[in-house]
Amino acid sequence: MLVVSGTGTEVGKTVVTAAVAALALARGERVAVVKPAQTGEQPGSTGDLGVVRRLSGVTRTVELARFPDPLSPEAAARTAGQPPLDVAEVAVAVKQVAASADLVLVEGAGGLLVRYDPLGATIADLAAMLGAPVLVVVSAGLGTLNHTALTLEALSARRLLPAGVVIGSWPSRPGLAERANLTDLAVIAGRPLAGALPAGAGRLGRDAFLAAARAGLGPELGGSFRGQCADPH
């Protein structure tokens, strides 16, 4: 079981989730992906799990709640006049899925400490209930070092196991900040980066995406990434 969280929204969590799922599926594992709360999507749209299915080929996906406004799960539920998600019930549902899967990926909404209910439950609390490590997806550019350090510090304070740091979208033409961050993120993590997926990977076909996942994720996630990204400079 693996929880995929990040330093904020739009950092590439869904594409990273799909990449991990694609590699596990290619190894012959039974893979399931759970999205506890989908926000910012109307009923009938495919949402993040649709992206995961298209890119990875995984067919067992579970969305537990959906709210139309692009807000935190707690605020989106409140705005929509719907009951908030119960994180303890989510943990039970995930464990039920895990009973018939080799790998369950749980993709959070926004960052690690985004609120899911009025009492302040977060994806970090869910990871604790599940006893699952947390893969942290980060951006490549300016500001990511502080956000990453804060996220890892929050994991440590809660005695949660980090599964690594992955750059969710590595630009085709990285600037000075991105190139420096490639080194500095590993220093902050205290270990080699667990991957860096190329920008635009979410637009690839399934075979090309699988190749990008293999090249862009580290050995601990089933790939061959060794801390280096293609850099035309």
Active site residue 35: yes
H or E segment to which residue 31 belongs: strand 31-35
Phi then psi for 228, rounded to 5 degrees?
A: -120, 140
CA separation for the pair 10, 148 (Å, rounded): 14
Q: How many other CB atoms sit within 10 Å of the CB of residue 208?
A: 12
- 179: phi > 0 → left, psi -120 to 50 → alpha, else beta; which? alpha
Three-state DSSP at 150 gives helix
Q: Which of 35, 136, 154, 170 is flagged as catalytic?
A: 35
Query: Strands, E, within 38-170: which ranges?
Result: 38-39, 60-63, 66-67, 103-107, 134-138, 162-170
Which residues form the catalytic set?
A: 35
